[in-house]
Amino acid sequence: MPPLRHRIASLPTLVVPPLALLCASCASLHRNADQSDEMRPQAVDPLTGTGQLAVSAFRSTGMAAVRQPFTTIRTGLAVLWHRPREIVTGNVPAEIIPQPQPTEIPGTPEFDKLLDSKGIPLQEQGKVSFLVDGREFFGEVDRQLASTKKTVDVQVFIYDNDDIAVRYSDLFKQKSQEAKVRVLFDDLGSTFAHRAAPETPAPAGFTPPADIASYLKSGSEVRVRRTMNPWLICDHTKLLIFDRRTAILGGMNIGREYYSEWHDLMVKVEGPAVGSLTKQFNRAWRKAGPFGDFALFRKPGEVQRPEKIPDGIPVRLMRTDAARGQRHILNASLLAIRAARKRIWIENPYFAHDETALALAAAARRGVDVRVILPARGDSTIMDVGNLATARDLINAGAKIYRYPRMTHMKVMICDGWAQVGSANLDTLSMRINRELNLAFSDPATVKALENRVFLPDFRASKTIRVEETASPIAPIAEAVADQL
């Protein structure tokens, strides 16, 4: 997910500080502040954008408090607890209470039983295939739309208003004439995205819609809802479901960056696990409706679970959701890192979570092959400097840190024979506060496929970061801010 788009300067002064602090890892403090005139047609004009942002901020806070009182209270308590906790964790020389190394090795049945015992959601069956970069992901969306007969459900953090978003809006609108189409996107994330253009220029004569929700609904049967943002916290989930039989999840949103500019990953899932993903989408859809939290008291409709299919493997659907007290992704990640014997390979654009960094440093010191791929140039200066601060500590502990030559937005991890992919960054928001969705598995052939499709090519394409390259005069400030993102 990109952090908060950079054009925050025009916001009212009372709104800027909480938005900048609470959401900076949810949309972007983008480097592309000085867009050329030829790129500006990809973004709404400043006056319109400021008005939309004001409306979005009201919906995110005032309306959320009325419609989602339980979510607002629980999320607020999580924010008040976890942000100070991260400050403490980030300023101690080692883990406060050293964690013993689990005897269960990641990738073994024993490790999966350990995850079961720790309250991580149980495994389900699903066939998994990887979609690397926008060409594969959007190509698969095109194929699914062409063959889908009954339902299309789309949930993203950012539904942009550039030419790619308009193209897919037109496809969804067309499909809505023969199938039920629902689109759910994060209110703040998408509103910020509309205010900044991608790096590549728009086609000649293109004008972005001022309101992508209105554009989706105009002349079609598409149903559109926005997820609310109590305490300005985001729903960072990316999930598309076709006919309730095929799901695609991972790191990509709907927009130009994901289509052709950034390096990213989605996972196609078929089989029984899609039934659980459909239930999760339905829950988010009901909650985003006019009755908010109160809609969840009604019994949900039945979802027919797809049958097992050939080549299916055990998969585990993991969430972060502060309102429900879910930290599956963090808990499973820390267990896998602490239990790893041979390797921990990670690719992630934003690494500012101290507890994870401390566990990785401990693994490197005990001889584990710890490698982390970061983007050479991300979309947030603060997070880039924060990444380097994390890199410095890990290099000193014996880890290898790599710089991918362009923006990599992948969120991928392999620990020995256990792997996970999804939407979660390695920061406080994704680990403890935002709503996130990851998928984990330990099937040897699938882990090997992830290694071959992602890590080995990206290691070859990247350059190792030397410890002297991690110095920055603003590192202390950037690291303190990044710890809160």
Mean pLDDT over residues 219-246, rounded?
96
Q: What is the pLDDT of residue 485?
A: 56
CA distance to 79, 224, 255, 346, 376, per residue, from 373 (Å)? 29, 36, 24, 6, 9
- Residue 3 pLDDT level (bands cut at 50, 70, 90): very low
Sign of CA dihedral 115, 246, 188, 351: positive
Q: What is the pLDDT of residue 303?
A: 86
Q: What is the model's pTM?
A: 0.89
Average per-residue pLDDT in the chain? 87
Percentage with pLDDT > 70 across the chain? 84
**CA–CA distance, 118 with 445 (Å, rounded to integer):** 26
- Residue 93 pLDDT level (bands cut at 50, 70, 90): low
Structure tokens at 431: 């680990």
Q: What is the pLDDT of residue 98?
A: 67
pLDDT surpasses 90 at 440: yes
pLDDT surpasses 70 at 269: yes
Q: What is the pLDDT of residue 278?
A: 98
String of DSSP letters for 214-277 = HHHHTTS--EEEEE--GGG--B---EEEETTTEEEEES--BSHIIIIISB-EEEEEESTHHHHH
Q: What is the pLDDT of residue 96?
A: 52
Q: What is the pLDDT of residue 20?
A: 42
Q: What is the pLDDT of residue 175?
A: 98
- Residue 434 pLDDT level (bands cut at 50, 70, 90): very high
Strand 223-227, strand 343-347: pairing: unpaired
**CA–CA distance, 206 with 467 (Å, rounded to integer):** 45
Q: Which residues of 358-376 are buried (b: 16+ CB within 10 A; e: fewer)?
A: bbbbbbbeeebbbbbbbbe
